């Protein structure tokens, strides 16, 4: 790509100071800020923490690498409450650093650093980043795999081909949607004349071999467990299928959500681009430009095509990786101003954007908490529930609470907030006999007049356990534990808004070493 800027470039210390200051501000706000305005972890974060305690290769829903990362970080932070937020921001830093490296190969230093810090306004890098989940580091490995591939095509050095394979495999251990990048790379290697010639060299085959060897243990697990991720995807599509209308409405809704996810990274750069963009000629100028173009459009077209074929809804989060190089693409095809004052205004706006988006997120959460009337996960009294469950256990025995099982959200909150960090029982990492020897606490949600419907039932992301009957009571499930002592129900209130329905949780105590085999039932 040609250098899109003119005039004096900024010094290396200057761009490093700008980048470091912006990243530090962002990390501090989004690591420690949520600790004060989010009373409870979001659902995906609870899931990552629960799985991380058990060091499995994968679950029935996703591979488990993100859980390994947050659990390892917890050892360093002594499992401080802000640990998953820190893990999320480390993934953002890793991502933005990769974008900066990629932009530095395309533009001048001052344009590259603006591209990088403007990306801190990306929806999935601010408010949505605190929902630490299977896409957090997946996005980072997507970026670095593309970066190393670009380096490999330009320089044909063995280390870049190897690093490409490593990043692809790491991304697959985070999220199997990484195969979208594999597909994009194949399209790029087939269409791009500069890349196509490498099929006659060892480079692409080295990347493939490295990726396959690293991915092999996970692939074996998937095969041995009858491809559970595919079954999960199939169920998700079939449950949301909307017929002929859905084949049009769902893709359009997905596109609308994508625009909202990247608009906040474009606004701070308006001093450079202006409101009326002036397009350059030729978006296929060189190999890097073609790679960035394909990274934007191939995954997007695949996702839209899938939605149109199946009729199922397309989660907006499935497009999070499509826009990671959007600003590089934009600056490649749009003419930008060259005045030094325009660059300085853009830097100020990027910093202001970081502060504005954080303030907006706090306002949305707080106002939503005060005005809302329904049940809410982020306002859930998870800490209070964990304290009640742990106290109920300690009143029965001096042994530490090792296991909690039942409703996946309720049990997960007890697991991550209780001081003893009990593990959530699952057939993926334990068995009934182990649970019987140590005992544990059973938890489930009781219906109330204000909240008669049940929101959580099967633990399908780590193995089916709890199931409810027709009367929303786990009567049959409790028969698996003939020695269980059913305790009084617990009634708790949401944080902030008292107009929200009360939360009623059922509990039972299973004593250690009294379990009798042969009582397991199937739902």
> Alpha helices, DSSP H only, in 267-381?
270-273, 287-310, 326-333, 340-371
Q: Report CA-CA distances (Å) from 430 to 30, 410, 427, 514.
A: 35, 19, 5, 17
* Three-state secondary-structure class, residue 21: helix
From the number of C-beta atoms within 10 Å of its C-beta (0-12, 13-18, 19+), residue 460 rates as middle
How far apart CA 292 and CA 277 sit, in angstroms, is 19
* Three-state secondary-structure class, residue 513: coil
pLDDT at site 74 = 94
pLDDT at site 287 = 86
Decide: 507 and 490 in contact? Cβ < 8 Å.
yes
At 398, list the tokens.
């001096």
pLDDT at site 247 = 77
Q: What is the pLDDT along the chain (523 residues), one digit of tens a residue?
A: 444 444 577 888 889 999 999 999 999 999 999 988 889 999 899 999 999 999 999 988 889 999 999 999 999 999 999 999 999 999 999 999 999 999 999 898 999 999 999 999 999 999 899 999 999 999 999 999 999 999 999 999 999 999 999 999 999 999 999 999 999 999 999 999 999 999 999 999 999 999 999 999 999 999 998 888 877 776 666 555 556 666 788 788 888 888 888 889 999 999 988 888 887 766 567 888 899 999 999 999 998 888 888 777 778 888 889 999 999 999 988 888 888 899 999 999 999 999 999 999 999 888 887 777 777 888 899 999 999 999 999 998 888 899 999 888 899 999 999 999 999 998 888 888 888 889 999 998 887 766 654 544 444 444 556 666 555 667 777 888 888 899 999 999 888 756 788 888 999 999 987 544 444 433 3
pLDDT at site 522 = 35
Decide: 222 and 58 in contact? Cβ < 8 Å.
yes
**What predicted TM-score, i.e. pTM, was given to this entire model?**
0.91
pLDDT at site 275 = 83
pLDDT at site 459 = 44
* CA proximity to 501, closest of 368, 364, 376, 367: 376
pLDDT at site 24 = 97
At 352, list the tokens.
């202001």
At 16, list the tokens.
């490093």
């Amino acid at each position: 790509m040609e250098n899109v800027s003119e005039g004096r470039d900024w010094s290396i210390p200057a761009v490093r100071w700008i980048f470091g200051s912006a990243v530090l501000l962002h990390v501090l706000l989004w690591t420690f800020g949520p600790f004060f305005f989010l009373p409870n972890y979001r659902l995906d974060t609870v899931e990552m923490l629960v799985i991380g305690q058990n060091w499995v290769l994968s679950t029935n829903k996703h591979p488990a690498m993100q859980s390994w990362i947050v659990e390892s970080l917890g050892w360093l932070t002594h499992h401080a409450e802000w640990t998953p937020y820190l893990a999320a921001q480390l993934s953002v830093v890793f991502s933005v650093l990769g974008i900066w490296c990629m932009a530095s190969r395309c533009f001048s230093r001052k344009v590259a650093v603006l591209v990088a810090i403007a990306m801190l306004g990306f929806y999935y890098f601010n408010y949505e980043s605190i929902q630490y989940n299977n896409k957090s580091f997946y996005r980072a490995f997507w970026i670095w795999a593309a970066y190393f591939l670009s380096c490999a095509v330009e320089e044909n050095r063995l280390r870049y081909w190897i690093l490409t394979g490593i990043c692809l495999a790491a991304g697959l251990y985070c999220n199997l949607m990484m195969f979208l990048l594999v597909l994009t790379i194949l399209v790029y290697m087939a269409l791009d004349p500069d890349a196509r010639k490498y099929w006659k060299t060892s480079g692409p085959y080295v990347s493939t071999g490295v990726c396959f060897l690293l991915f092999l243990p996970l692939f074996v697990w998937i095969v041995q467990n009858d491809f559970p991720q595919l079954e999960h995807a199939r169920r998700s599509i079939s449950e949301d299928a909307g017929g002929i209308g859905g084949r049009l409405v769902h893709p359009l809704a997905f596109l609308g959500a994508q625009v909202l996810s990247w608009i906040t990274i474009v606004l701070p750069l308006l001093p450079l681009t202006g409101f009326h963009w002036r397009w350059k000629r030729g978006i296929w100028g060189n190999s890097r430009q073609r790679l960035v173009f394909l990274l934007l459009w191939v995954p997007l077209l695949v996702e839209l095509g899938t939605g149109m074929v199946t009729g199922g809804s397309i989660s907006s989060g499935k497009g999070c990786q499509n826009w990671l190089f959007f600003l590089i693409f934009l600056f490649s095809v749009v003419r930008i101003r060259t005045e030094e004052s325009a660059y300085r205004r853009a830097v100020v706006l990027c910093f202001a954007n970081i502060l504005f988006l954080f303030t907006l997120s706090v306002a949305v959460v707080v106002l939503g908490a005060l005005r809302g009337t329904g049940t809410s996960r982020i306002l859930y009294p998870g800490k209070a529930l964990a304290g009640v469950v742990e106290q109920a256990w300690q009143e029965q025995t001096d042994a530490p609470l090792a296991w909690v099982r039942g409703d996946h959200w309720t049990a997960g909150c007890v697991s991550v907030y209780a001081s003893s960090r009990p593990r959530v029982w699952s057939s993926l990492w334990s068995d009934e006999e182990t649970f019987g020897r140590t005992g544990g606490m059973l938890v489930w949600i009781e219906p109330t007049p204000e909240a008669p419907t049940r929101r959580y039932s099967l633990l399908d992301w780590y193995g089916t356990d709890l199931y409810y009957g027709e009367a929303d009571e786990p009567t049959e499930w409790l028969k698996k534990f003939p020695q269980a002592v059913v305790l009084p129900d617990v009634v708790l209130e949401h944080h902030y808004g008292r107009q929200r329905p009360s939360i009623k949780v059922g509990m039972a105590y299973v004593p250690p070493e009294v379990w009798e085999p042969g009582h397991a039932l199937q739902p």
